[in-house]
Structure 1
Amino acid sequence: MLTIRDITVRLGGRTILDQASATIPNGGKVGLIGRNGAGKSTLVKTVIGELEPDGGSVDLPRRARLGYIAQEAPSGTKTPFEAVLDGDTERTQLLAEAETCTDPNRLGDVHERLIAIDAYSAPARAARILVGLGFDEEMQGQPLDSFSGGWKMRVALAALLFSQPDVLLLDEPSNHLDIEATLWLESFLSSYPGTLIVISHERSLLNRVVDHICHLQNGKLTLYPGTYDSFERLRAERAAQAEAAKASQEAQRKKLADYVARNSARASTAKQAQSRAKMLARMQPIATLAEDPSMRFEFPSPDELRPPLVTLDMAAVGYEEGKPILRRLNLRIDPDDRIALLGRNGNGKTTLARLIARQLEPMEGETNFSPRIRIGYFTQYQVEELPEGSTPLELMTRAMPDKPPQAVRNQLGRFGFSGDRATSDTHTMSGGERARLALALVTRDAPHMLILDEPTNHLDVDAREALVQALNAYEGAVILVSHDRHMVELAADRLVLVDKGEARAYDGSMDDYIDFVLGRNQPKAEEPQRANEAKPARKSGAVAREELKALRRKVTEAETAMKRLQTRLAALDAALVDPASAKGDLKGLGLGAIGQKHTEVTEALDEAEMTWLEASEALDEVMGNG
């Protein structure tokens, strides 16, 4: 087992880990989680010996091999296939020794060890791993220097997985992956024979792969059995208990203070009042979960536009003259659309997003945009290219030159940059803070459509959940490119598959798509002599599958609508209680107008719930008959 014993690490005068302890069982699969900046990467670097702790120790089984991806991506003229094979250094050394060894006894030992480590099937295993991570046969034979940084990091991950260390440590392994490669990685890790510690903010990965959650908070480690969902339920229960205890204490505090105020001046009760005053002074406040500004996402509501916002009619798009990447694009986007673009990296999702964002002109066909449309386009490049030496207030002021200072402050406040945070240097910001600032900048003019290309890469699990809620409350259209399936499932109600040079509607749910990617619903080959006999059965099976897909889609769409309407209803409830606290399009409205909106949303929610109930019952019936 791996034992982390009272580890303390101080960096730059700040205590990152404070006597942190945890025991990881042999073969355990542990998800290491915590807020951005909590010290997760610092802990992993301490475990692998890259950082010397100020106190404590890390104990590993004797001869246990640790595996961790280096920060430097591999490069040079080697191919991905060669780089992965070289990842198993023992195999490489033994094969070299087998070529030169002249001692028969030693040569026998070498070949025995090669057989023990399954060295001769290694090329096939290396190829399977590379295919799983998105490298086809042609790509496996190209030089590393021909790939982008993200693809090189995939090669580094493939080499590490191929080497099969006894203790595998992964830090955000899915950041450079698409949904398809992430699904393969989850399947690979769930059956990994060694011990696994993975830093991840992917809820789906943490639910499918790990059997323990190790939570790093305030420099301490707490190990919980189970998946992320079970950890979150326990955390919610503890938060509710703390909130109830705090409310009870506040009531007691108020009662004591009231007694002291009423009885201090009277001689007959002065001693009792003095005693209660001392009790009040000794009462330690109970801490609850403080509101974290990093959880703040609020997209400004756009003014209304008549549909459609965008139409593509047999459009083609690419980067080189005469060489379209995508052809025959037919797509209509309305103000209430929530569309997720699916497909492997390199198939053209970002190219399609840039066409819709008006950053690329069509090579063929037509694109039509609503005349007054405003589009907010978010990419990782905007996060990485935020100028250092500037503050959020300076950047937003430059981006909103015609707006008064209060409007600039309001936009920053929607994303957690209020007070001193608005004047902090971007150089000191975490990746999550920079991502929030980039989102604040691209939504400054209340766009009618948001295009988000991998918006979660720098966000922790809680921040991703806050972003999902903000997207569901947003009243414009959303185009989403993300490998975070949880976000796609909750924030999108239309799926578009970008594949083989085209983009077409995917008629199914995310569950259907996952089954498709994993090969669980691929058509099976039939024996020739039975093909004709099977046609009627195939036809009726296809009809049943289409009916099932339609019902699943209807259930999913109704669930998405219900979540969005429930979020809207909560905002309206709060505005009815305190109109001064109203935000977005509710700000400044009277109680009558707010009440009217409340009635409309309540009726819409009732209708969505009825639709969901009917579709769910129909789905249960179809599945039961199947």
Structure 2
Amino acid sequence: MLSLSGITVRLGGRTILERATASLPTGARVGLIGRNGAGKTTLMKTIIGQIDPDEGSVDMPRAARIGYIAQEAPDGAATPIETVLAADVERAALLAEEEAGAEPERLADIHERLIAIDAYTAPARAARILVGLGFDEEMQQRPLSTYSGGWKMRVALAALLFSEPDLLLLDEPSNHLDLEATLWLENFLKSYRATMVVISHERDLLNNVVDHILHLEGGQTTLYVGGYDAFERQRAERLAQLAAAKASQDAQRARLQDYIARNSARASTAKQAQSRAKALAKMQPIAELASDPTLSFQFPSPDPLRPPLITLDLASVGYDQTPILQRLNLRIDPDDRLALLGRNGNGKTTLARLLAAQLPAMEGAMTASGKMRVGYFTQYQVEELDGEDTPLEHMTRAMGSGASPGAVRAQLGRFGFSGPRATQKVGKLSGGERARLALALITREAPHLLILDEPTNHLDVDAREALVQALNDYDGAVVLVSHDRHMLELTADRLVLVDGGTAREYAGSMDDYTDLILSKGEGRGDGAAQASAKAGGGSGGAARKEEKRSGAQYRERLKALRAVVRAAEKKVEALTAEIRAIDDALADPAGTKGALASVNLSDLMKKRAELEGQLERAEAEWMAAEEAIEGA
């Protein structure tokens, strides 16, 4: 059992954890969740002993082996397979002792122990883990120094999983993974036998892998039984109880204050008033549930364009005259929702850059609407934000001198940067806040096509849900690359598999694709697999398809309502202008020009009354459509 007893940690003069307490059963799979900046990583580092608590203690069995990924990724001339095998310290030590020429008696003990720890199957087990995380046989034999930081972190994760510690600690393990590797990891963790604590914002992982949720909020922890959906239900019930208790306490407080005010001055009731005053002073206030501005996402709607937005006809794209993708045939319409599937390195980002006009078509044709505006989000934009500038300065510079301060503030407000939040230094913002700022910047011109490449890496679960809602409310087209399956299922109507040097429509559902990845291991969408996906689906697939169909119908309904709002706005403006012209004519008949100059006074009054009636009806239509949008 892992026990946290009254853990308090203060860093930089700020209290991060305050009397955090929890008892985690042996063998439990615990999802550690909380808003960005709540202190999840601080708690995990306290568990492994990297941070000494100011108060409290961490208790666990003495012999327990703890596994945690260090911040520095492995490097050097060692290969991924060598690095993973070296993670089993006992096996490596026994093999080294054997190779050094141990005495015959000791050699027998070594062989017996190697058999006991299943050492001779270790290379196969290590290779399976590496394959699951995206390393084919050739990649397993290349030096670590030839890999990027993200791939090196995959090797670190593989080594940790291979070492099979008694307490496995994972801090956002899917951040450096694509969807395919994330699916494999989720499947691997389902069968992990020891105690596990995982910090994750992946709703599917938290539902499918963990059996407890440890919620960190306000420096304190609360343990819930079940996955994330069960946590949300229990949390909602608890918040409802708190809200009811606060309402009851507020009413009681008001009654006490009223009694004290009315009876303090009377000699006959002064003692009773003093008694109630003491009771009021001892009453511990129940905290009010505060709204969270960091959950604000609102993409501005573009002006309508005729379809198609983009057409690819046998196009190819690549770098330095070397094509990465060929024979591309794809059409994107103004209301499309596309998810690009495929392992990292297959060309998803290359295709996204082609659609964003950052790369030209090397062969074939790409036709795009001349009036189309594109918003393209990547992690590089988040990393390149100037830490010394404020969101207000970033947005003012991006929108140019022609933009009014009100327009700049309005765009920032759509993404939660209102009031003083707009003037904070970007360097002091959390990763999630910087991601929201980058999204605000790329959508400042109301793009017709939004291309999002891994937009959720810095967002917690609640912020991801807000982003899903914003994408479903958005009027333009969306192309999405993400390892968050929950987001893909709720936003994408079309799946495009990028694999084998091309991209093609995937006929199955996300459930079909998940089954394909887990059964094939490599995620190769061959003909048999595609046929299976088309024919398959089961009850789960049908449910997902129905959910996506409902999402599409919801967006169509919103689109129609917004069209009514725009038409009503224009009608109100036109009618108001006509009434203003009649009022001017009535005020100064001699100075009236144009068609109204020949109209007599009584007809002008009659015409004005008709316009007033039309204006009243137009305003009613406008308000009804706005209310319908709010209630949709």
Say yes or no: TM over 0.5.
yes
Please tell me the residue identity of whatever aligns with 1:353.
A
User: Structure 1 residues 570, 120: closer, same or farther in 2, change over 3 A?
Assistant: farther
Q: Secondary structure at the match of 2:519?
A: coil
Over aligned residues, Cα RMSD in angstroms? 3.5
Tell whether 2:621 aligns with 1:592: yes
Query: Match for residue 531 of structure 1?
Result: none
Q: Secondary structure at the match of 1:290?
A: coil
Query: Match for residue 390 of structure 1?
Result: 389
Query: Match for residue 444 of structure 1?
Result: 444
Please tell me the residue identity of whatever aligns with 2:332.
I
Distance in structure 1 (CA, Å) of the matches to 2:384 and 2:344: 22
Distance in structure 1 (CA, Å) of the matches to 2:212 and 2:326: 46
Distance in structure 1 (CA, Å) of the matches to 2:370 and 2:468: 29
Tell whether 2:204 aligns with 1:204: yes
Distance in structure 1 (CA, Å) of the matches to 2:266 and 2:40: 59
Query: Match for residue 350 of structure 2?
Result: 351
Distance in structure 2 (CA, Å) of the matches to 1:509 and 1:463: 25
Distance in structure 2 (CA, Å) of the matches to 1:89 and 1:326: 43
Task: Report the CA distance between 1:243 and its aligned residue.
Answer: 3.1
Ranges in structure 1 where 5+ consecutive residues have no aligned partner: 523-537, 573-588, 606-626
Q: After the TM superposition, which of the residue ranges 232-241 and 369-378 deviates more from structure 2?
A: 232-241
Distance in structure 1 (CA, Å) of the matches to 2:189 and 2:537: 33
Query: Match for residue 157 of structure 2?
Result: 157
Does structure 2 retain, via aligned residues, the 8 Å contact 1:239–1:288? no
Task: Report the CA distance between 1:249 and its aligned residue.
Answer: 5.2
Query: Match for residue 613 of structure 2?
Result: none
Tell whether 2:494 aligns with 1:503: no
User: Structure 1 residues 225, 552: closer, same or farther in 2, change over 3 A?
Assistant: closer
Query: Match for residue 168 of structure 2?
Result: 168
Q: Secondary structure at the match of 2:23?
A: strand
Distance in structure 2 (CA, Å) of the matches to 1:161 and 1:216: 25
Tell whether 2:556 aligns with 1:556: no
Distance in structure 2 (CA, Å) of the matches to 1:222 and 1:63: 27
Listed as ranges, the matches of 1:445-524 within 5 Å are 445-519=445-519
Query: Match for residue 2 of structure 1?
Result: 2
Distance in structure 2 (CA, Å) of the matches to 1:271 and 1:25: 55
Does structure 2 retain, via aligned residues, the 8 Å contact 1:472–1:567? no
Query: Match for residue 87 of structure 1?
Result: 87
User: Structure 1 residues 267, 509: closer, same or farther in 2, change over 3 A?
Assistant: same
Does structure 2 retain, via aligned residues, the 8 Å contact 1:338–1:494? yes
Task: Report the CA distance between 1:23 and its aligned residue.
Answer: 1.5
User: Structure 1 residues 291, 562: closer, same or farther in 2, change over 3 A?
Assistant: farther
Does structure 2 retain, via aligned residues, the 8 Å contact 1:7–1:21? yes
Note the alpha carbon deviations across 1:96-152, whole angstroms, 9 max, x for none. Answer: 001124322222222221111111110000110001111111111111122111111
User: Structure 1 residues 542, 410: closer, same or farther in 2, change over 3 A?
Assistant: closer
The percent of aligned pairs where both chains have the same amino acid is 65
Query: Match for residue 400 of structure 1?
Result: 399
Does structure 2 retain, via aligned residues, the 8 Å contact 1:509–1:552? no
Task: Report the CA distance between 1:594 and its aligned residue.
Answer: 3.4
User: Structure 1 residues 32, 266: closer, same or farther in 2, change over 3 A?
Assistant: closer
User: Structure 1 residues 194, 554: closer, same or farther in 2, change over 3 A?
Assistant: closer
Task: Report the CA distance between 1:486 and its aligned residue.
Answer: 0.6
Does structure 1 retain, via aligned residues, the 8 Å contact 2:260–2:277? no
Query: Match for residue 221 of structure 1?
Result: 221
Task: Report the CA distance between 1:83 and its aligned residue.
Answer: 1.1
Distance in structure 1 (CA, Å) of the matches to 2:561 and 2:227: 29
Distance in structure 1 (CA, Å) of the matches to 2:561 and 2:311: 34
Does structure 1 retain, via aligned residues, the 8 Å contact 2:264–2:273? no
Q: After the TM superposition, which of the residue ranges 337-346 and 110-119 deviates more from structure 2?
A: 110-119
User: Structure 1 residues 547, 69: closer, same or farther in 2, change over 3 A?
Assistant: closer
Task: Report the CA distance between 1:391 and its aligned residue.
Answer: 0.7
User: Structure 1 residues 254, 148: closer, same or farther in 2, change over 3 A?
Assistant: same
Q: Secondary structure at the match of 1:159?
A: helix
Task: Report the CA distance between 1:265 and its aligned residue.
Answer: 13
Does structure 2 retain, via aligned residues, the 8 Å contact 1:35–1:217? yes
Distance in structure 1 (CA, Å) of the matches to 2:444 and 2:14: 35
Query: Match for residue 375 of structure 1?
Result: 374
Listed as ranges, the matches of 1:122-271 within 5 Å are 122-247=122-247
**Larger-Rg structure:** 2
Task: Report the CA distance between 1:236 and its aligned residue.
Answer: 1.2
Query: Match for residue 361 of structure 1?
Result: 360
Please tell me the residue identity of whatever aligns with 1:209.
V
Task: Report the CA distance between 1:279 and its aligned residue.
Answer: 9.5
User: Structure 1 residues 66, 466: closer, same or farther in 2, change over 3 A?
Assistant: same
Tell whether 2:303 aligns with 1:300: no
User: Structure 1 residues 105, 385: closer, same or farther in 2, change over 3 A?
Assistant: same
Q: Secondary structure at the match of 2:407?
A: helix
Distance in structure 2 (CA, Å) of the matches to 1:542 and 1:482: 21
User: Structure 1 residues 54, 571: closer, same or farther in 2, change over 3 A?
Assistant: farther
Does structure 1 retain, via aligned residues, the 8 Å contact 2:16–2:39? yes
Q: Secondary structure at the match of 2:156?
A: helix
Q: Secondary structure at the match of 1:519?
A: helix
Query: Match for residue 104 of structure 1?
Result: 104
Q: Secondary structure at the match of 1:366?
A: strand
Task: Report the CA distance between 1:365 and its aligned residue.
Answer: 0.9
Distance in structure 1 (CA, Å) of the matches to 2:275 and 2:625: 49
Distance in structure 2 (CA, Å) of the matches to 1:571 and 1:258: 49
Does structure 2 retain, via aligned residues, the 8 Å contact 1:259–1:273? no
Note the alpha carbon deviations across 1:244-298, whole angstroms, 9 max, x for none. Answer: 444555566778889999x799999998997999599657654343111111111
User: Structure 1 residues 295, 570: closer, same or farther in 2, change over 3 A?
Assistant: farther
Distance in structure 2 (CA, Å) of the matches to 1:4 and 1:541: 49
Query: Match for residue 37 of structure 1?
Result: 37
Distance in structure 1 (CA, Å) of the matches to 2:558 and 2:285: 31
Task: Report the CA distance between 1:394 and its aligned residue.
Answer: 0.8
Q: After the TM superposition, which of the residue ranges 385-394 and 285-294 deviates more from structure 2?
A: 285-294
Please tell me the residue identity of whatever aligns with 1:355.
L
Distance in structure 2 (CA, Å) of the matches to 1:127 and 1:117: 17
Query: Match for residue 578 of structure 2?
Result: none
Distance in structure 1 (CA, Å) of the matches to 2:113 and 2:336: 59
User: Structure 1 residues 542, 394: closer, same or farther in 2, change over 3 A?
Assistant: closer
User: Structure 1 residues 93, 242: closer, same or farther in 2, change over 3 A?
Assistant: same
Please tell me the residue identity of whatever aligns with 2:492.
A
Distance in structure 2 (CA, Å) of the matches to 1:124 and 1:547: 34
TM-score, with structure 1 as normaliser: 0.84
Task: Report the CA distance between 1:92 and its aligned residue.
Answer: 0.9
Distance in structure 2 (CA, Å) of the matches to 1:357 and 1:139: 31
Q: Secondary structure at the match of 1:122?
A: helix
Note the alpha carbon deviations across 1:11-66, whole angstroms, 9 max, x for none. Answer: 00111111212112211111111111111111111111111211222122122111
Q: Secondary structure at the match of 2:346?
A: coil
User: Structure 1 residues 600, 101: closer, same or farther in 2, change over 3 A?
Assistant: closer
Q: Secondary structure at the match of 1:518?
A: helix
Does structure 2 retain, via aligned residues, the 8 Å contact 1:508–1:549? no
Please tell me the residue identity of whatever aligns with 2:379.
Q
Task: Report the CA distance between 1:559 and its aligned residue.
Answer: 2.4
Ranges in structure 2 where 5+ consecutive residues have no aligned partner: 523-528, 564-617
Q: Secondary structure at the match of 2:70?
A: coil
Distance in structure 2 (CA, Å) of the matches to 1:369 and 1:155: 41
Distance in structure 2 (CA, Å) of the matches to 1:567 and 1:109: 72
Task: Report the CA distance between 1:477 and its aligned residue.
Answer: 0.8
Q: After the TM superposition, which of the residue ranges 195-204 and 264-273 deviates more from structure 2?
A: 264-273
Task: Report the CA distance between 1:444 and its aligned residue.
Answer: 0.9
Does structure 1 retain, via aligned residues, the 8 Å contact 2:74–2:155? yes
Distance in structure 1 (CA, Å) of the matches to 2:9 and 2:61: 23
Does structure 2 retain, via aligned residues, the 8 Å contact 1:454–1:483? yes
Q: Secondary structure at the match of 2:291?
A: coil
Note the alpha carbon deviations across 1:326-379, whole angstroms, 9 max, x for none. Answer: 111111111111111111111111111111111110101111111111111111
Distance in structure 2 (CA, Å) of the matches to 1:201 and 1:541: 31
Distance in structure 2 (CA, Å) of the matches to 1:253 and 1:404: 47
Query: Match for residue 13 of structure 1?
Result: 13
Please tell me the residue identity of whatever aligns with 1:373.
M
